[in-house]
Homo-oligomer: A and B are copies of this chain.
Amino acid sequence: MKFIVQRQQLISSVQDVMKAISPRTAIPILTGMKIEAKADGIILTGSDSDISIESFIPAEEDGMINVEQIEEGSIVLQSRYFPDIVRKLPEKTVTIQTDENLNVTIQSGKAKFNLNGQDASEYPQLPRVQTDDSFEISSDLLKNLIRQTGFAVSTMETRPILTGVNIKIENETLSFTATDSHRLAARSIPLEGTRLDSSNIVVPGKSLNELSKILDDKGEKIEISVTNNQVLFRTKHLHFLSRLLDGNYPETSRLIPDQSQTVLHIKTKDLINTIDRASLLAKEERNNVVKLTTKENQLLQITSNSPDVGQAAEEVSIQSIEGEDLKISFSAKYMLDALKVIGNEDVRIEFTGAMRPFILKPVDDDSILQLILPVRTY
């Protein structure tokens, strides 16, 4: 194998592929990165068996030459050193070459590295996703869907299914839902002209988090294909493959209250700042609790109390309040997580009493829904 590649292209592909490589894995060769040179370009592959990422550097694209002097072949390189080497090489191009003893030479200007490679035929074959069940979405929209729901997955392995995000297609609507059973985050968008008219899968939160990191914000098209146990996210030069979680995702729609006793409209930023401050004194507790109390004159009071440390109290103006007066306690962390992804200047909060779950939505927009269970404080 031999090729000369533009170093910037190689750096960016290596960075993407590294997201799938873990230094601790049951299959030793997966700590390495597979490099394949083909006539039309270079493919880098990384995998931790849950996630696999393939990045393609085309030999030529838009009239630009990325890879030259290609002699086909493949090798697996230790990923511990390769990214740093590529990043620190001195010149604009890098020559990578292997010999029959699996020695790899990496050269750029006067700098030359010899690394011991491994036989690429020992690298596990990635599953091929062959399906017509696919739909398209833009990368910035997908990143938003992940950002607005992914934080709410469970981090506990007691109910493994809750560590994933439930992705559903139904009635030309795509919805993402995550819950750790103390809170729930959901977002839905219309999906038109898809061949896939129904689908219901659970993707590990960790996979979506890594995917989000390597997607660009430029609105590139992503094709999402689903099979029994795998989902493939495919852009022009990137294949991101994740296993699915087994089992049925719980039916969450019945958790969402369909009536309310108290409805507030408030500036999202004001409420974030006030709760952030009130929660300072309770920061060592895992879910620091604050109390919200409705007051006269369109005011809310946010308070917290940590007997050893002291108290915090702050009043904040609301845009409007309808319904009954209310005192309710909740996790400041859950509330802040939810408020930060509302994505609207004004938030609508609907309460159904101090002991019932309450919901947050952007004002005049039902596509985002955040639900939080209150905390008993008596």
- CB of A40 within 8 Å of the partner chain: no
Question: In the complex, A316 Cα to B109 Cα: how many Å?
Answer: 11
Q: Are A112's CB and B308's CB within 8 A?
A: no
- Indicate which residue in B112, B277, B308, B315 contacts A312 across the interface (CB closer than 8 Å): B112
Binds B, one of A6-14, A52-60, A113-121, A204-212: A113-121
Q: Are B81's CB and A280's CB within 8 A?
A: yes
Given A84-B280, A110-B316, A280-B85, A115 and B309 contact (CB-CB distance below 8 Å): yes
Q: What residues of B have a CB within 8 angstroms of the CB of A193 in the complex?
A: none
**A316: nearest chain-B partner, CB-CB:** B110
Copies in the complex: 2
- CB of A229 within 8 Å of the partner chain: no
Q: What residues of B have a CB within 8 angstroms of the CB of A85 in the complex?
A: 277, 280
Q: Are A116's CB and B312's CB within 8 A?
A: no
Question: In the complex, A318 Cα to B244 Cα: how many Å?
Answer: 57
- Indicate which residue in B84, B309, B313 contacts A112 across the interface (CB closer than 8 Å): B313
Q: Are A88's CB and B280's CB within 8 A?
A: yes
**Shortest distance in angstroms between A369's beta carbon and chain B's nearest beta carbon?**
29
Q: Are B113's CB and A315's CB within 8 A?
A: no
Q: Are A114's CB and B310's CB within 8 A?
A: yes
**Shortest distance in angstroms between A243's beta carbon and chain B's nearest beta carbon?**
31
- CB of A273 within 8 Å of the partner chain: yes
**Shortest distance in angstroms between A107's beta carbon and chain B's nearest beta carbon?**
10
A64-122 contacts to B (CB < 8 Å)? 78, 80-81, 84-85, 88-90, 103-104, 110-116
- CB of A220 within 8 Å of the partner chain: no
Question: In the complex, A274 Cα to B112 Cα: how many Å?
Answer: 11
Q: What residues of B have a CB within 8 angstroms of the CB of A311 in the complex?
A: 113-114
- CB of A314 within 8 Å of the partner chain: yes
Q: Are B280's CB and A312's CB within 8 A?
A: no
Q: Are A110's CB and B315's CB within 8 A?
A: yes
- Indicate which residue in B81, B309, B310 contacts A281 across the interface (CB closer than 8 Å): B81
Question: In the complex, A114 Cα to B306 Cα: how many Å?
Answer: 10
Q: Are A113's CB and B312's CB within 8 A?
A: yes
Question: In the complex, A265 Cα to B88 Cα: how many Å?
Answer: 24
**A85: nearest chain-B partner, CB-CB:** B280
**Shortest distance in angstroms between A43's beta carbon and chain B's nearest beta carbon?**
23
**A307: nearest chain-B partner, CB-CB:** B116
- CB of A172 within 8 Å of the partner chain: no
- CB of A276 within 8 Å of the partner chain: yes
Q: List 14 A-B contacts (CB under 8 A).
A: A81-B280, A85-B280, A88-B276, A88-B280, A90-B273, A104-B310, A111-B274, A111-B277, A111-B312, A111-B314, A112-B314, A113-B280, A113-B311, A116-B308
Interface residues, chain A, with chain B CB atoms under 8 Å away? 78, 80-81, 84-85, 88-90, 103-104, 110-116, 273-274, 276-277, 280-281, 283, 308-316
Beyond known contacts A88-B280, A116-B310: 10 more, CB 8 A cutoff = A80-B309, A84-B280, A88-B277, A104-B310, A111-B277, A111-B313, A112-B312, A113-B310, A115-B281, A115-B310
